Chains A and B, each alone.
Chain A
Amino acid sequence: MGKTVKVDVAVMGSGVAGMGAAYKLVQAGVKDIAVFEKYPAQGGAVSNCPMMFCSTPDTPEAQKAAYEVLARFSNYDGNMNLISKVVKYSSEFPRIFLEELGIKCMIKVDRDPADYGNKRAYTQGHANGIDVGDYYFLEGRGKGHAMALALLRMRINLEKAGVQFFFQTPIKKIVKTGDKVTGAIAYEKDGTEIDIQCKALIVASGGITGNMEMMKEEGVINVDPKFEEVFEEGKQVLITFPDSCQDGDGQKAVWEIGGKKTAMVISADPEVPNPGVRIGPNTPWLNGNQIKVVTEMPWMRVNEQGKRFINEEMSNQHTAMSRAYCKQSNMHGYQIFDEDTVKRMEEEFDENYVYFIFKGAKLSGLREQMDASIAKGNKHMCHFDTIHEVAEYMGINEANLKETIAKYNKAAEEGYDPDFHTDAKYLHPIREESGHIYCFRIFAGAYDTMGGLAIDENANLLDINNQPIEGLYGAGDMVTGSFYGEPTSNAGGTVYGAMTTGLLAGDSAAAYVRENF
């Protein structure tokens, strides 16, 4: 026999977006709220968060400046009114996270709104974030911890306020009566069906990271790339979110009742697959992962054809890099550098480029670490005396590669890169005379996915005719295309998009319930 859960509002997912929604529902005085989560704990992809958040101050100047940066970023493809609401909700972050949830801010960087949009990636502390406000760097033991702790505290607060949490109980179906959403079907771990009866449903179940088959079907992963196995769980060097339950349940349930389908994309942290070495989610912040550190560096990248494809300054912008890799044949690229570069880095990482590589840090034991991996069967890295050997081993077009390197070296020598405009300070010649050539094959690893659904300016999920579906709201990674533009191009690693849409969905669902029941 199944069970019945009758509530005012049900929330699907307890990540940043779902928790934000539940928080606002409680604030708005909604009495009966239930959160359904597939995983045994709250948080969703929050452990993939940066160690900071960005918040746009609630002043007309800042709000307008942030709005304009985001509108341009979306190529005016997002919902412009939704953008202004997202920006506005972001100004609540310091109150929610710092004051109410007691998360400690180590450093606050106040920005002049006139400068929004000028900083990129790690220069603002977050690989994928957009520069639209003040930055709050948070205290925590590792990546994502401050935000993960915030969501744990939020859950405890919500439980005290009477919110019911159902863990390991995924919603699989949405129930519509006439034009209205009136419920959903969830399943407990043992298969027991739960008939959820609700006045409104908020869908915030994230991407489809855990569902390889769906990623292929939806074109997120090219069908049958040469090194497909690296996208399987446990096969990547660094899996920031290794235990994903994001299987696309939300997207599928909404599409099934006529929801609008939008593009889905991979947004990832470029990685060298390294199955021989056990490296976990927090490893970049621990000592000793030299391979990860090197692959963050802005040195030459080529594709299988031996051609450059991006301004390597973007190396610290994970979304940009991983998307560029995905666009290359077989969804990967190569980083190549020589012994001179290694020697220079063994004195000190001179680029001052990536925020988790602190001043004074040195490269050490790179070749040993590579050799250890290669000995364990890793085929995605190599070092040889000649470019010929590297090209042959890695399967890069040798003639093109040599031509590319000659051109790149000339750009380094002249201090000007006419092809990709990479800053001269990052151009380091690649010479066999240095004694050695190193190469990594890099993929869009540690992946997140985003998109699939569209919302309007009230976070109401849209149907195929762009009409809001009554009683159904959406938030988080799955709908961020509605304000970042289609396809989405900002990682779920930012709370900026996910929490704001969650807060909006909570407020909107609360208003809907208040006014219609």
Chain B
Amino acid sequence: MKLEINNKYCIRCGLCEDLYPDLFKRNFEEHCIDVLHEELPAELEERAKQAVADCAVAMIRLVK
């Protein structure tokens, strides 16, 4: 499983990083949000699901 952000419509509000600093990090160079885990560790899957639900603009996806 991995997390994906749709950068076309992500508003870069940073809520995901504020709530889930173990999953996301703001990238000030590229003006985007970096997903921290290329492959999501199993123990973070529940948090990742919450992060998907918490995105203000529903632009985070959990994909296989």
Residues on A lying within 8 angstroms of B by beta carbon are: 39-43, 46-47, 140-142, 144-145, 148-149, 151-152, 156, 233-234, 242-243, 245, 278, 280-283, 286
Question: Which 5 A-B pairs rank lowest in CB-CB distance, beginning with the nearest?
Answer: A280-B18, A145-B56, A282-B18, A148-B11, A141-B56
6 A-B residue pairings within 8 Å (CB atoms): A141-B54, A142-B13, A142-B15, A149-B57, A243-B31, A280-B17
Q: Is B61 an interface residue (CB 8 A)?
A: no
Instruction: List chain A residues, Cβ under 8 A from B31.
Output: 39-41, 243, 245
Among A149, A243, A286, contact of B56 (Cβ-Cβ < 8 Å): A149
Instruction: List chain A residues, Cβ under 8 A from B21.
Output: 278
Total interface residues on B, CB under 8 Å, equals 19
Q: Are B28 and A234 in contact (CB under 8 A)?
A: yes
Using known A-B contacts A142-B56, A242-B26, A286-B19, determine if residue A47 contacts B32 with beta carbons closer than 8 Å: no
Q: Are A282 and B13 in contact (CB under 8 A)?
A: yes
Instruction: List chain A residues, Cβ under 8 A from B9.
Output: 41, 152, 156
| A46–B57 CA distance with the chains assembled, in angstroms | 14
Q: Are B18 and A145 in contact (CB under 8 A)?
A: no
Instruction: List chain B residues, Cβ under 8 A from A245.
Output: 31
With CB as the reference atom, state the residue of chain B lying closest to A148.
B11
Using known A-B contacts A40-B31, A142-B56, A152-B57, determine if residue A281 contacts B18 with beta carbons closer than 8 Å: yes
With CB as the reference atom, state the residue of chain B lying closest to A167.
B8
Chain A CB within 10 Å, residue with most, of B7, B15, B26: B15
Q: Are B13 and A145 in contact (CB under 8 A)?
A: yes
Instruction: List chain A residues, Cβ under 8 A from B18.
Output: 142, 280-283, 286
With CB as the reference atom, state the residue of chain B lying closest to A142.
B15
Using known A-B contacts A148-B57, A152-B57, determine if residue A281 contacts B28 with beta carbons closer than 8 Å: no
Q: Are B11 and A41 in contact (CB under 8 A)?
A: yes
Instruction: List chain B residues, Cβ under 8 A from A151.
Output: 11
With CB as the reference atom, state the residue of chain B lying closest to A282.
B18
Q: Are A242 and B14 in contact (CB under 8 A)?
A: yes
With CB as the reference atom, state the residue of chain A lying closest to B17.
A280
Q: Are B19 and A148 in contact (CB under 8 A)?
A: no
Instruction: List chain A residues, Cβ under 8 A from B7.
Output: 40
| A282–B15 CA distance with the chains assembled, in angstroms | 6
Residues on B lying within 8 angstroms of A by beta carbon are: 7, 9-15, 17-19, 21, 26, 28, 31-32, 54, 56-57
Q: Are B28 and A47 in contact (CB under 8 A)?
A: no
Chain A CB within 10 Å, residue with most, of B9, B12, B17, B54: B12
With CB as the reference atom, state the residue of chain A lying closest to B32.
A40
| A46–B54 CA distance with the chains assembled, in angstroms | 19
Among B13, B17, B26, B54, contact of A148 (Cβ-Cβ < 8 Å): B13
With CB as the reference atom, state the residue of chain A lying closest to B28.
A243
Q: Are A43 and B56 in contact (CB under 8 A)?
A: no
Instruction: List chain A residues, Cβ under 8 A from B56.
Output: 140-142, 145, 148-149
| A142–B16 CA distance with the chains assembled, in angstroms | 11
Q: Are A282 and B57 in contact (CB under 8 A)?
A: no
Q: Are B19 and A41 in contact (CB under 8 A)?
A: no
With CB as the reference atom, state the residue of chain B lying closest to A234.
B28
With CB as the reference atom, state the residue of chain A lying closest to B27.
A243
Among A43, A233, A242, contact of B11 (Cβ-Cβ < 8 Å): A43
A210 to chain B, nearest CB (A): 11
Instruction: List chain B residues, Cβ under 8 A from A41.
Output: 9-12, 31
Chain B CB within 10 Å, residue with most, of A156, A242, A281: A281
Instruction: List 10 extra interface pairs beyond A43-B12, A144-B13, CB under 8 A.
Output: A39-B31, A41-B11, A141-B56, A145-B13, A148-B56, A152-B57, A156-B9, A233-B28, A243-B28, A282-B18
Q: Are B14 and A282 in contact (CB under 8 A)?
A: yes
Instruction: List chain A residues, Cβ under 8 A from B14.
Output: 47, 242, 280-282
| A149–B19 CA distance with the chains assembled, in angstroms | 18
Instruction: List chain A residues, Cβ under 8 A from B28.
Output: 233-234, 242-243
A492 to chain B, nearest CB (A): 16
B11 to chain A, nearest CB (A): 5
| A111–B28 CA distance with the chains assembled, in angstroms | 42
| A233–B26 CA distance with the chains assembled, in angstroms | 13
With CB as the reference atom, state the residue of chain B lying closest to A38.
B31
A489 to chain B, nearest CB (A): 27
| A457–B45 CA distance with the chains assembled, in angstroms | 55
Chain A CB within 10 Å, residue with most, of B9, B31, B54: B31
B23 to chain A, nearest CB (A): 13
Q: Are B11 and A152 in contact (CB under 8 A)?
A: yes
| A156–B11 CA distance with the chains assembled, in angstroms | 13
With CB as the reference atom, state the residue of chain A lying closest to B11.
A148
With CB as the reference atom, state the residue of chain B lying closest to A240.
B14
Instruction: List chain B residues, Cβ under 8 A from A242.
Output: 14, 26, 28
| A145–B12 CA distance with the chains assembled, in angstroms | 11
A143 to chain B, nearest CB (A): 9
Instruction: List chain B residues, Cβ under 8 A from A148.
Output: 11, 13, 56-57
Instruction: List chain A residues, Cβ under 8 A from B12.
Output: 39-41, 43, 47, 243
| A156–B9 CA distance with the chains assembled, in angstroms | 9
B53 to chain A, nearest CB (A): 10
Instruction: List chain B residues, Cβ under 8 A from A149.
Output: 11, 56-57
